[in-house]
Amino acid sequence: MNKNFYITTPIYYPSGKPHMGHAYSSIVADIFARFKRLENYNVLFLTGTDEHGQKIQKEAKKNNKDPKIFCDELSETFKSLTKILNLSNNDFIRTTEKRHHKSVIEIWNRLVESGDIYLDKYSGWYSVSDEAFYDEDEIENINQKKVSKSSGSTVEWVEEESYFFKLSSWSNKLLEFYNTNPNFILPTSRKNEVVKFVEKGLKDLSISRTSFKWGIPVPKNEKHVIYVWLDALTNYISALNFPDIKDKKFKDFWPADIHIIGKDILRFHAVFWPAFLLAAKLPLPKKVFGHGWILSDDKKMSKSLGNILDPIEIIDKYGVDQLRYYLVKEVSLGNDGSISMENLKNCINNDLANNYGNLCQRVFSFIKKNCDNKIPKSSTLDNLDKKLLDNLRNNIPKLINLMNKQDLNEYIKMVVNFSFEANKYFNDSEPWAIKKKKPERMKTILHTIVQQIKNITILLSPIIPNATDKVFSIMNLSNENITIDKINDDNFINYEKKLDNLEILFNKIENDN
Ligand code: MSP
C-alpha cells in the first residue's frame, strides 16, 4: 500500500499581514496532515508564499520598496505564522526561489511543445486584487465602479499583447475527468458549480502580461511575464523537485493527495490547474477541497467594516490551541461560518476547560494524591469499564473514515462526546468513595479512565497539539511514537514512572476578558 501522503495549503500573497482566512486554510490542512501521520503515513505538508504579479508589485511600490525586498520581509511574517499556528509543514516554498523558477519554465516549455500556447491580444476586464480575468457577465456596476460579482473587487480594462493557453480545447477532457473521479472536487456542492462552468464551454486563457515586470519572464520573449496563477499553481510540483520527475520526492508524492483551498480560488485549482497538467502530460491531483469563508459577526471580514479578527492577537490572548479548536469546531468545513469573540470564549470554556481539560486535571490530581503519582495497572475491568473503552475503540474505523472524507466537524463532535462520557464515568464511579473499602476497584477505575484519556488525547492531537503534547508528557509518553493503533494498546501507558508535573491545560475565560 502507498503510505505517502501529500497535502498543500494555498500559497499566500505576502501583500499584507496574515489574517484569519490564511490562518484557517493552514490550520485545516495541518489537522489533516497530522491525522495522516497518526495513521502512519509518510506525510509531506507544503505551504508558502505567492510572490509575483501586479498586486505584489503595486503593494511594494506603495511601500516604496523593491518588490523582492518587500517579499523577503512579508514572507518572513508568513513563515513565522507557521510557527505561531503550530503547523507541522515540512517545507515552505516561495515563488521567488530558484527551484520554482526552473519548474515554471519547464511547465511553460511543455505547454509550448504540446501546441497549447499561442500569441494574440487580450482585451477585457482584470482584477489586480484577485489577479483574475473576468468576462462581461461576471462583473457589475456598484457605486459607478465596475466590480467582480464574485469577489466584489474592482476591475480595470486591459488591452495588451498576450500569450494564450488553449483552455477551450480541454473542456471535454476535464468533464470526463470530473466524471470518472467523483471525489476530485469537494464538497459536492462546489463540484456542481465547477461542472456547470466547464459545461458552458471554456474560453482560452491569457497566461502572460506585458504591462509590468514583476514575474518570471516568458522564455524567448522577455517582454512578457508569465501570468501569476500559472506561476503560482506550479509551486505544488516545484517543491517536489520538478522538472526532475525521476527524483524520489516527485515519484513518492505526485500526484498530490489533496489541495486545501478557499472556495474563492476553486476555479484556478479545479479547472486551470488540471488543464495545465493535462497539457503538460503530468498526472492530476487526487482531490481539491474548497472550504468556505470565515465571517465575522455574519459579515465578510474587511478593513472598511472594521470587523477583522486578527489571529495573532487572539492567540496572544487565549492561546493557539484555543483558536485552532474554535475555528474548526465552530465553522462547518465547506460552508461559510461566523465567528465571534463571545462564541470563542464559550467554546473554550465548555469544550476545552470544563470538558477535556477538567477530565485530565481531576484524574491526574487524584492519582497524585492517592496512588503515589503512578498510573495503576489493572486487568480486572468490569463491563462498565469495558463499555467505556470499547465504545471509542469500535468507532476508530468510523473516525478514520470521517477524517478521510474531510468531515472534520462530525469527527470533533464524536471525540468531544467521548470526553463527556469519560467525565461522566469518573463521576459515576466515584473512586474517592471507595479508596479505603475497595482499593483494587479504585485502581481499576483509574486504569480505565487513564486509558480513555490517552485515547481521547490521541484523537485530539491533530487539532490541539500543544495541549495534547503536554498530556502525553505528563504521562511520560513521547509524542513521536503516537499513532492511532496505540488506542488499542493498553501497554502503551507507562505504569512505572511517576506522572510529571501537571499544569493547567486551559484557563477558563471570565466574561470581562
Ligand atoms: N495566492 C493565491 C493562492 C495561490 S495557490 C496556488 C491566494 N492567496 S490569498 O492570500 O489571497 O488567499 C489564500 C487563502 O486564504 C485562500 O484559500 C482564501 O480562500 C483564504 N481566505 C482569505 N480570506 C478568507 C476568509 N475570510 N475566510 C476563509 N478563507 C479565506 O488566493
Q: All domains of the chain, ordered by start, with CATH?
A: 4-291 (3.40.50.620), 340-492 (1.10.730.10)
- Report how far ligand 1's centroid is from the alpha carbon of 302 (Å): 14
Task: Locate all alpha helices (DSSP H) within 39-144, ordered by sequence.
Answer: 54-62, 67-84, 98-113
Q: What is the pLDDT of residue 214?
A: 97
Q: What is the pLDDT of residue 302?
A: 63
**Which amino acid would we find at residue 262?**
G
Q: What is the pLDDT of residue 298?
A: 74
Locate the ligand 1 atom nearest the alpha carbon of residue 292 and give its number.
28
From 282, 286, 287, select the one nearest 242 (Cα to Cα): 282
User: Per DSSP, which regions of 53-207 are E strands?
Assistant: 91-94, 117-127, 132-134, 139-142, 145-148, 156-165, 185-186, 205-206
Q: What is the pLDDT of residue 162?
A: 97
- Report how far ligand 1's centroid is from the alpha carbon of 377 (Å): 50
- Report how far ligand 1's centroid is from the alpha carbon of 11 (Å): 8
Q: List the residue whose alpha carbon is closest to atom 10 of ligand 1.
A: 12
Lining ligand 1 with CB less than 6 A are: 10-13, 21-22, 24-25, 50, 232-233, 235, 261-262, 264-265, 293-294, 301
- Report how far ligand 1's centroid is from the alpha carbon of 22 (Å): 6
Whether 234 contacts 269, CB under 8 Å: no
Dihedral sign from CA coordinates of 234, 240, 246, 247: positive
Q: How far apart are CA 420 and CA 359, in angstroms?
A: 9
Whether 256 contacts 246, CB under 8 Å: no
- Report how far ligand 1's centroid is from the alpha carbon of 19 (Å): 10
Question: How many other C-beta atoms are found inside a 10 Å radius of the C-beta of residue 164?
Answer: 19
Q: What is the pLDDT of residue 303?
A: 61
- Report how far ligand 1's centroid is from the alpha carbon of 487 (Å): 36
Q: List the residue whose alpha carbon is closest to atom 21 of ligand 1.
A: 21
| 125 strand-pairing partners | 134, 157
Locate the ligand 1 atom nearest the alpha carbon of residue 273 and give its number.
6
Per DSSP bridges, beta strands 258-262 and 288-291 are parallel
Q: What is the pLDDT of residue 513?
A: 59
285-324: b or e for each residue (b if 16 or more CB lie within 10 Å)? bebbbbbbbbbbeeeebeeeeeeebebbebbeebbbbbbb
Number of C-alpha atoms within 13 angstroms, CB side, residue 271?
29
What one-character DSSP code corresponds to residue 154?
A: B
Q: How far apart are CA 259 and CA 236, in angstroms?
A: 9
Q: What is the pLDDT of residue 17?
A: 83
**Which amino acid would we find at residue 279?**
A
C-alpha cell belonging to residue 127: 482584477
Locate the ligand 1 atom nearest the alpha carbon of residue 235 and give its number.
6
Q: List the residue whose alpha carbon is closest to atom 29 of ligand 1.
A: 21
Q: How far apart are CA 12 and CA 78, in angstroms?
A: 8
Q: If residue 260 lies in a helix (H) or strand (E), which one and from where to where?
A: strand 258-262
List per-residue pLDDT tens for the chain, 513 residues long.
569 999 999 999 998 888 899 999 999 999 999 999 999 999 999 999 999 999 999 999 999 999 999 999 999 999 999 999 999 999 999 999 999 999 999 999 999 999 999 999 999 999 999 999 999 999 999 988 999 998 889 999 999 999 999 999 999 999 999 999 999 999 999 999 999 999 999 999 999 999 999 999 999 999 999 999 999 999 999 999 999 999 999 999 999 999 999 999 999 999 999 999 999 999 999 999 999 999 987 777 766 667 778 899 999 999 999 999 999 999 999 999 999 888 999 999 999 999 999 999 999 999 999 999 999 999 999 999 999 999 999 999 999 999 999 999 999 999 999 999 999 999 999 999 999 999 999 999 999 999 999 999 999 999 999 999 999 999 999 878 899 999 999 889 999 999 998 889 999 998 765
Question: How many other C-beta atoms are found inside a 10 Å radius of the C-beta of residue 250?
Answer: 17
Distances, alpha carbon 239 to alpha carbons 101, 171, 343, 349, in Å: 11, 28, 38, 41
Which of 9, 11, 25 for mutating ligand 1's site (highest number of atoms within 8 Å of CB)?
Answer: 25
- Report how far ligand 1's centroid is from the alpha carbon of 25 (Å): 7
- Report how far ligand 1's centroid is from the alpha carbon of 405 (Å): 22
